[in-house]
Chains A and B, each alone.
Chain A
Amino acid sequence: MSLVVPRSVRRPLPRWVEIGVLPLVNVALAFLVVGIIARIIGVDSFHALKLLLVGAFGSSESIGYTLYYATNFIFTGLAVAVAFHAGLFNIGGEGQAYIGGLGCGLAVLALDRYLPGPLLILLAILAAAAFGAAWAAVPAWMQAWRGSHIVITTIMFNFVASALMVYLMVNVLIAPGSMTPQSRGFADSASLPSMQAVLKSIGIAVAPSALNLAFVLALLSSVAVWIFLWRTSWGYALRTMGHNAEAAIYAGTSIRRMTMLAMCLSGALAGGVAVNELLGVHHRIVLDFPAGYGFAGIAVALMGRSHPLGIVLAALLFGALQQGGAELSFEIPAMTREMVVVIQGLVILFCGALAHLPRPWLQALFGRRG
């Protein structure tokens, strides 16, 4: 896995360079290329950067949207990271979030006439996690028991999820009389309270935005993932498997069970996107709501070095890019929102596949004789 340093480059760098400088240099390289691309299409990078920052942080509304986008990135970043720690590469976050949305929506559609709000929301969140986990469990089972490569199977499962959802939305779940494939609206009691309403109740006035309590759930999930990975024996076994599967076997860990556990957790976390999008914003099941967040989670996890704190920070950056980028595209039409997608790709390239590119330079600067 990308987290393992190849033998030949394992010459020691001081720890603070390894953790603090190398990742920053990687990110800086990615943004350098972004600057070059902006130059090619004739956009003044510094002017664009200023507009982007204002668009992302300029008002309480824009901060709200930045955090709302960050919520999705935290969930998918955590999802990818948990699998990474187990030495597994889960590319299926997109499909797991999608199917998580199916579970979340089915729970609400079935029960919103009978249950009170808080219980309903709790059940819907659990259903999102359970469906996401189930969609990840099949590739995990295929890897653990049948030896099929999880990268390939999770990719295929994304496409299958997409086809399944289109079929269900067009033929089964579509609201009667509706022209667009979306389900009937959820009852009001099934809405996650917006952050504006929550803050208002404690006397803080902010502008309305899409930000809702799912953001708090994302932060709690980050803490929970940290506790699980670094403070429980299961988390220890999971990380051992990721570092050295053979050592884990000798320690008595069941690789099969750990693979299932890691992937189910990963899928459940991806289901969080559905909570933010469906319970928080759309209030119905809609098509294509994962909108690339599952793939972006790879960039978030790599940039955050698979640590929950790093992931939250990286998610904030990507949230700001998403929100600021949207504002930017109004001001400079040549800078489309897809620039954010380009940045995601470059971050995955430089923080993932080319992570060791700057290492020789840093070794020349800071390296100790090994």
Chain B
Amino acid sequence: MEETLTFITLTLAATLRVATPLVLCAMGGLFSEKSGIIDVGLEGKMLMAAFFAAATASLTGSAWAGVVAAIVAAEALALLHGFACITHRGNQVVSGIALNILAAGLTVVLGTAWFARGGQTPPLGDGERLKPIFFPVAGDNVLVYVALLSVPFTWWLIARTRFGLRLRAVGEMPLAVDAAGVSVAWLRYRAVLLCGLFSGLAGAYLSIAQNAGFSRDMTAGQGFIALAAIIFGKWRPFPAFGACLVFGLLDAVAIRLQGVKVPGVGEVPVQLIQALPYLLTLFLLAGFIGNAVAPKAAGVPYEKEH
């Protein structure tokens, strides 16, 4: 009995640890997508933020300086995305892919040039990391709580404020927002900046809270899993949060199921569990489990007629 309880507690703690960056990233992506700006560049923003967080924490010895650097780095990419997609009406997917590839290369180039460790940052000491607040075993650092609070915050901002109403409108029918005399571009820029803020925090979590330093490609597709969670949650904060938890649980279970025979099924391949978030999202997208409808204006650049 006690063993089962420990097992459940540990698995839940592991789920929360894995889900935290997904939740932060998904909430950021929600703002962007709700405003009509598709963001496949979450992965790149998170990776860039993770690198600058670890690099800054290592150089200054302060975890908080790392968090600030992470946000600045992610915002820089977010602004670039906004500049390309909002100001220059470029293709949003192309821009997002460009940022992902740019981040994958730049983090290693800068990391090698500055630290000469094959793209890694030096391992961070205890003072340079965000430490657990209440339960050392669970790893409940401050960003875990930020992630948990980010969900009701996102819901409140999108569903209950004037800004949120306009944000939703600009993602569905920008012409109406423009006709009402509200700037489409400024609304979308604010959405993209919120996205940068949250994906920056997600990146900081990866390199200075969950791990002790940056290693190349450490996001390993988590930005895309967050994107999958947004789709799975049908562009709503709480369902997206639920999807993040499910995907986090899958990951936590995958590690524990390695080489274990499940009664009646036999050994479940770890790769299958790892691919499950993508497979589930594909089934959803194919319309086999409900229907996911994106904001209408997502991906369409807005052009002022006058």
- Measured CB to CB, the residues of A under 8 A from B are 1-2, 6-8, 37, 40-42, 89, 91, 142, 146-149, 151-153, 155-157, 159-160, 163-164, 166-167, 171, 295, 298-299, 302, 333-336, 338-346, 348-349, 352-357
Chain B residues lying within 8 Å of A339, measured Cβ to Cβ, are 105, 109
Given contact pairs A7-B303, A155-B224, A349-B84, a sample of 8 additional A-B residue pairs in the complex whose CB atoms are under 8 Å apart: A2-B91, A37-B109, A40-B110, A338-B108, A342-B106, A344-B105, A345-B102, A345-B104
In Å, the complex CA distance between A6 and B87 comes to: 12
Residue in chain B with minimal CB distance to A296:
B101
Size of B's binding interface in residues, CB under 8 A: 52
Across chains A and B, which 7 residue pairs bring their CB atoms closest together, nearest first? Answer: A341-B105, A345-B102, A353-B95, A353-B90, A41-B113, A342-B105, A148-B285
Interface string of B260-287 (1 = CB under 8 A from A): 0000000001011011001101100111
- Determine whether the beta carbon of B99 is less than 8 Å from that of A156: no
- Determine whether the beta carbon of B285 is less than 8 Å from that of A152: yes
- Measured CB to CB, the residues of B under 8 A from A are 38, 40, 80, 83-85, 88-95, 97-106, 108-110, 112-114, 116, 119, 221, 224, 227-228, 231, 269, 271-272, 274-275, 278-279, 281-282, 285-287, 294, 301, 303
- Majority SS of interface residues in chain A? helix
- Determine whether the beta carbon of A345 is less than 8 Å from that of B303: no
Residue in chain A with minimal CB distance to B93:
A151
Whole-angstrom distance from the CB of B18 to the nearest CB of chain A? 16
**Given A1-B91, A159-B224 in contact, is the A348-B98 Cβ separation under 8 Å?**
yes
In Å, the complex CA distance between A349 and B110 comes to: 19
Q: Which of B38, B108, B113, B272 contacts A163 (CB 8 A)?
A: B272
Whole-angstrom distance from the CB of B26 to the nearest CB of chain A? 14
Whole-angstrom distance from the CB of A159 to the nearest CB of chain B? 5
- Determine whether the beta carbon of A152 is less than 8 Å from that of B231: yes
**Given A146-B286, A153-B285, A156-B281 in contact, is the A349-B109 Cβ separation under 8 Å?**
no
Q: Which of B90, B221, B285 contacts A146 (CB 8 A)?
A: B285
Chain A residues lying within 8 Å of B38, measured Cβ to Cβ, are 151
Chain A residues lying within 8 Å of B272, measured Cβ to Cβ, are 163, 167
Show 19 residue pairs from A and B whose CB-CB distance is below 8 angstroms, ordered by the A residue.
A37-B109, A91-B93, A146-B285, A148-B287, A149-B285, A157-B278, A160-B279, A333-B112, A333-B116, A338-B109, A343-B105, A346-B98, A349-B84, A349-B98, A349-B99, A352-B90, A352-B98, A354-B88, A354-B95
Whole-angstrom distance from the CB of A305 to the nearest CB of chain B? 14
Q: Which of B103, B113, B278 contacts A334 (CB 8 A)?
A: B113
In Å, the complex CA distance between A142 and B279 comes to: 13
